[in-house]
Amino acid sequence: MIYGIGIDVVHIERMRIVVEKWGQRFLKRVFTDREISYCYKKKNPYLSLSVRFAAKEAMIKAVGSEIPLSFTDIEVVNIGTGKPFFSFGEKIDSFFMKKSITSAHLSLSHEHEYGVACVVLEQ
């Protein structure tokens, strides 16, 4: 059974502008060290930063307003094949157990100007 669905779209150029303006202050507020490191190993880090930001927004939408979440409570990582998935801390893991959420499915994509993420939470 589906518990929640979230989707978000990010304009990649907007991400670049925000990162260039606010730098580490923004990055540390929104992304984990592991996410920042992964993105900056890419030729264009703004593509990866954008879809990770969209994934965090989509997760917050899928969860709803039942618990307050910060962006760094949600981490997007990739397995060896490149498939993205979420890594959560105790706060979200506890919420998932309480709500019997067994899976958090994530799909990311970017094309030229936009990055998009879709999240489906399954019970």
Residues annotated as part of the active site: 61, 110
Sequence-distant contacts of 62-67: CB under 8 A, at least 24 apart: 62/3, 62/4, 62/5, 62/6, 62/104, 62/119, 62/120, 62/121, 63/4, 63/6, 63/92, 63/95, 63/121, 64/4, 66/95, 66/99, 67/91, 67/92, 67/95
